[in-house]
Amino acid sequence: MSTAVRDDRTIDHGPDGPAGPPLAPPPKLRRRPGLVAAAVILIGLGGLLGAWAWTAATNSTEVLVARADIARGSVIEADDLARVQISTDPALDPLPGAALDTVVGKRAALDIAEGGLVTRSAVAATVVPADGASVVGVAVTPAQAPSEPFQVGDNVRVVVTPAAGEAAPAQTPAFSTAEIVGTRYSEETGQLVVDVQVAEGEAATLAARAATGNVAIVLDSRER
């Protein structure tokens, strides 16, 4: 007796055909908070860098710089200067590139290094001390100077006064006419030091008088 072999391949499973293998469940996505935070930080940094680059480009200004070292007191020539576009701090007060023609022919009030910004304070119509003049520092106490604060450009007389215990001379006291070019207080002595410009021939005499401390400064009229 023969045995029939069952072959599922011949079984009619209906119009839809045989059922396929069961579908696998979709994979679960793993969230990584660290990567998300890093991506947010990178996006933020990119925005900041872009904003900085745009600001630097739009805030650049044409200013004057020194092509080579410019010594204090020397006349500034056109070849000494160059125009460059840079982003600068307004506190530096650099001269704009358009001021080149007004700077040429003036004198350097300060030493300007090669590549350094040319600021307003570094340029002057005249230099101190002027040709044929000298600057002498005169230290005085509050009693030896007026209470009116001195200003640069004031005309004064530095008068010789008698030493302590000596009688005032009968003749008119000697004095030197001068122009104030600067003042400062000495923390060591508590005295006011007045820098005055005098004729070169009078500088030695005035310095000797000032060294004794027996001088007073008289402020003359400011009317011009």
> Does some domain include residue 41?
no
Q: How many angstroms separate the first and last alpha carbons of the chain? A: 147
Q: How far is CA 152 from CA 67, 127, 177, in A?
A: 31, 14, 15
Q: Domain of 206?
A: 133-219
In this structure, the answer to whether residues 209 and 141 fall within a common structural domain is: yes
Q: How far is CA 188 from CA 136, 139, 141, 191, 197, in A?
A: 19, 12, 13, 8, 24
User: In CATH, what number is assigned to the domain containing residue 183?
Assistant: 2.40.30
Q: Which among 124, 141, 160 is the end of a domain?
A: 124
In this structure, the answer to whether residues 141 and 212 fall within a common structural domain is: yes
pLDDT by residue for the chain (224 residues), tens only, comes to 445 545 545 555 555 555 555 655 666 656 566 666 677 677 777 767 766 555 555 567 889 999 999 988 888 999 999 999 887 676 778 899 999 999 999 988 888 999 999 998 889 888 788 889 999 999 999 999 999 999 988 999 999 988 765 655 556 568 999 999 989 998 888 899 999 999 999 999 999 999 999 999 999 998 87
Give me the pLDDT at residue 74, please. 87
Angle (nearest 5°) at CA 137 between 133 and 142: 135
Task: Find tokens 């010594």 and name the residue.
Answer: 71
In this structure, the answer to whether residues 153 and 202 fall within a common structural domain is: yes
Helical residues (DSSP H) of the chain, grouped into ranges: 33-58, 100-103, 203-212
Give me the pLDDT at residue 118, please. 93
Give me the pLDDT at residue 130, please. 85
Give me the pLDDT at residue 40, please. 67
Q: What is the value of pTM for the model shown?
A: 0.54
Containing 21, the helix (H) or strand (E) segment is none
In this structure, the answer to whether residues 87 and 119 fall within a common structural domain is: yes
Give me the pLDDT at residue 41, please. 75
In this structure, the answer to whether residues 100 and 143 fall within a common structural domain is: no
